[in-house]
Amino acid sequence: MAGSVPVARSLQDIYTDDALASQTKRWAALVSRFESIYGHAPEFVARSPGRVNIIGEHIDYSLYAVLPMAITADVLLAVSVDSFLSTKSTYRIQIANVQDAKFPAHEFDIPHDAVEIDATVHEWTNYFKSGLRGALELLRKKHGADFKPKGMRILMDGTVPAGGGLSSSAAFVSASALAVMTANGEHVVDKTELTELAIVSERAVGVNSGGMDQSASVFSERGSALFVSFTPTLKARPVHFPKTNPELTFLIAQSFVTADKFVTGPIHYNLRVVECSLAAAYLNAVLNPPGTRLPADAAPLGISLHGFHETYFALTEHATKASSSKPVPEQLRELISLTENALTKQEGYTREEIAAVLNITVDELNSQFTSRFPVRADRFKLRQRALHVFSEALRVLQFMELLEDPAHHPEAGSDTSAYNAKLGTLLNETQDSCRDVYECSCPEIDDLVTIARKAGSYGSRLTGAGWGGCSVHLVPADKVAAVREAWEREYYSKLGLTDEQKEAAVVVSKPGSGSALYLVKEGNLS
Ligand code: NG1
């Protein structure tokens, strides 16, 4: 699926038929608003969607494969390029948002050689700047260190709810990097390069993010989910669901609990990244021969549970002179049982306890693991985090096997309820693990999940980082109405939602397409 970001010729290339009418109106409004703000038409629109994760939660930053899909909601950046906005040492970025009351317009004169981002301030344009910074690093690699960026005028329209678990930030950063590359004359933008730079860029905003969201945003293809693997290199390929009877529908339901990774990072997301990295180091210290070093990899803190996994089996297979490797599911089962025996402290491990096992000082531990982004914890739950990661990585493989191994496929035309239920059970197991072991659910998501299952969902779980945000549900088409009614009755009616919120609460999601560019000719969209 490598290749370059497509240049769309019509909105039909981007959206599914059911979304076309409303999107056409929205794009026209964006172009005309751009004209009224800046006095001329945009030259192009860079577009990147949000995503919903089907299965594989909180394992991308441990470098295990995941299965997300893009959704219709997206970030659009209408852009014009202006060299006159540049001086000898700076270039100017003017950026506005269609929701200008919430996201006020800004103007920056940025030095040619560095993009400052103050990650301590929660400011919407930081996401643009992080895409800018990443894109410029790539442009400098290609064109030399004295590359001079162009000035840009930008108007953004984002429809992915922020803090909703649908990855608004990755959509924004990916669209920004794509816009900057295009504005600076890159007519062909490589998808893998764009994704890799968006992953690294987003970490500049204060979150140790994995790579799932950016991959889903850039690589997705309409009509299919996306299998994303991170080792040995980033790869993404489309995955199709077999035909089922009853037909399967994905419903996305918001909890309306805002989970802001930036604000709660020290006790939630960033802490989990630290715990997983510490678990990798700890398991390496107690299960691999003394002195074994984990390979440096693309994980946020440079080592990962996947790196430990590979090192462990490479060393044991070498030691036993095994002629072939065990299948990965079997390896993961073995790792689960090894973890249960090696990491016995349910209450978690203190910094002192971990440092002693790693044979380093507490200061060294802090500088290696907790200095990039601050975390607040007295104990680190290494056992639970490693168990979730290995078991979730296994569930992704089991889900993929159900989807792709013809031996598991139901007979065409037959009732496939049993098959559907198997897919759903894996999603339910993910939710149980997220709630009880990884501790990233919340009571509101748990309620949505329980209500949906009672009303006929095969599988229901949180999607994205959790601690609020969205949930995803695998529902037979003939039960969609019943599930929606049950949520309305037992959950949404109690929240006092505005009409707009009611409208956005539940979305029937079809797999959408990934990033695209659209050239606007003389203010014309068609
Ligand atoms: P959200 O918060 O839903 O965008 C986050 C991470 C993902 C992944 C999931 C959990 C970012 C940008 N995204 O998703 O990489 O780790 O949590 O599976 O940090």
Query: Within 10 Å of residue 123's Cβ, how many Cβ atoms?
Result: 16
Atom of ligand 1 nearest to the CA of 59: 18
Residue type, 197: L
CA of 187 to the centre of ligand 1 (A): 29
| Nearest in space to 212 (alpha carbons), one of 53, 328, 75, 74 | 53
Q: Which mutation among 269, 277, 388 tests ligand 1's pocket best, with the greatest number of atoms within 8 A of CB?
A: 269
Which residue puts its alpha carbon closest to atom 11 of ligand 1?
209
196 C-beta closer than 6 A to ligand 1: no
Q: How far apart are the first and last CA of the chain?
A: 27
| Nearest in space to 470 (alpha carbons), one of 15, 47, 54, 60 | 54
The answer for residues whose C-beta is within 8 angstroms of residue 142's C-beta and 6 or more apart is none
The answer to whether the peptide bond before residue 300 is cis (omega within 30 degrees of 0) is no
Residue 139: how many CA atoms within 13 Å on its side-chain side? 27
pLDDT in the model for residue 1:
64
The answer for residues whose C-beta is within 8 angstroms of residue 9's C-beta and 6 or more apart is none
CA of 464 to the centre of ligand 1 (A): 5
What token pair was written down for 398?
A: 């089991």
209 C-beta closer than 6 A to ligand 1: yes
Q: Which mutation among 71, 212, 438 tests ligand 1's pocket best, with the greatest number of atoms within 8 A of CB?
A: 212
What token pair was written down for 268?
A: 């939630």
| Nearest in space to 426 (alpha carbons), one of 8, 13, 54, 158 | 54
Backbone dihedral angles phi then psi of residue 431, each to the nearest 5 degrees: -60, -45
CA of 213 to the centre of ligand 1 (A): 6
Q: How far is CA 38 from CA 41, 57, 108, in A?
A: 8, 42, 16
CA of 341 to the centre of ligand 1 (A): 30
Atom of ligand 1 nearest to the CA of 57: 18
299 C-beta closer than 6 A to ligand 1: no
DSSP 93-155: EEEEESSTTTS--EEEEEETT-----TTS--THHHHHHHHHHHHHHHHHHH-TT--PPEEEEE
- Hunting for tokens 């049950």 — which residue is that? 486
Atom of ligand 1 nearest to the CA of 214: 12
Identify the bridge partners of residue 97 per DSSP, sorted by sequence position. 156
Which residue puts its alpha carbon closest to atom 19 of ligand 1?
209
What 3-state class would DSSP assign to 377? coil
User: Are the C-beta atoms of 54 and 431 separated by less than 8 Å?
Assistant: no
203 C-beta closer than 6 A to ligand 1: no
In whole angstroms, give the CA distance from residue 69 to residue 51.
6
210 C-beta closer than 6 A to ligand 1: yes
What token pair was written down for 88?
A: 């000898």
In whole angstroms, give the CA distance from residue 485 to residue 465.
26
Handedness of CA 403, 408, 412, 415 (dihedral sign): negative
Strands annotated E in 401-465: 459-463
Residue 503: how many CA atoms within 13 Å on its side-chain side? 5
- DSSP 8-state code for residue 92: E
| Nearest in space to 210 (alpha carbons), one of 218, 200, 224, 220 | 200
pLDDT in the model for residue 84:
67
**Is-catalytic flag, 213?**
yes
Which residue puts its alpha carbon closest to atom 17 of ligand 1?
465
Q: In tens digits, what is the pLDDT along the chain, a chain of 526 residues?
A: 679 999 999 999 999 888 899 999 999 999 999 999 999 999 999 999 999 999 999 999 999 999 999 999 999 999 999 876 678 889 999 999 999 999 999 999 999 988 998 878 889 999 999 999 999 999 999 999 989 999 999 999 999 987 677 889 999 999 999 999 999 999 899 999 999 999 988 877 767 778 999 999 999 999 899 999 999 999 999 999 999 999 999 999 999 998 777 788 899 999 999 999 999 999 999 999 999 999 999 999 999 999 999 999 999 988 888 877 899 999 999 999 999 999 999 999 999 999 999 999 999 999 999 998 889 999 999 999 999 999 999 999 999 999 999 999 888 889 999 999 999 999 999 999 999 999 999 999 999 999 999 999 999 999 999 999 999 999 999 999 999 999 999 999 999 999 988 988 998 888 899 999 999 987 777 6
- DSSP 8-state code for residue 87: -
User: Are the C-beta atoms of 62 and 304 separated by less than 8 Å?
Assistant: yes
Atom of ligand 1 nearest to the CA of 53: 18
The answer for residues whose C-beta is within 8 angstroms of residue 494's C-beta and 6 or more apart is none
Q: Which mutation among 48, 54, 60, 274 tests ligand 1's pocket best, with the greatest number of atoms within 8 A of CB?
A: 60
pTM score:
0.93
167 C-beta closer than 6 A to ligand 1: yes
Catalytic residue among 60, 213, 260, 297: 213
CA of 209 to the centre of ligand 1 (A): 6
CA of 300 to the centre of ligand 1 (A): 12
198 C-beta closer than 6 A to ligand 1: no
57 C-beta closer than 6 A to ligand 1: yes
User: Are the C-beta atoms of 513 and 221 separated by less than 8 Å?
Assistant: yes
380 C-beta closer than 6 A to ligand 1: no
User: Are the C-beta atoms of 163 and 265 separated by less than 8 Å?
Assistant: no
- DSSP 8-state code for residue 78: E
Q: Which mutation among 57, 203, 260, 261 tests ligand 1's pocket best, with the greatest number of atoms within 8 A of CB?
A: 261
| Nearest in space to 182 (alpha carbons), one of 340, 56, 12, 5 | 5
CA of 407 to the centre of ligand 1 (A): 33
206 C-beta closer than 6 A to ligand 1: no
Q: How far is CA 516 from CA 155, 416, 469, in A?
A: 16, 36, 26
261 C-beta closer than 6 A to ligand 1: yes
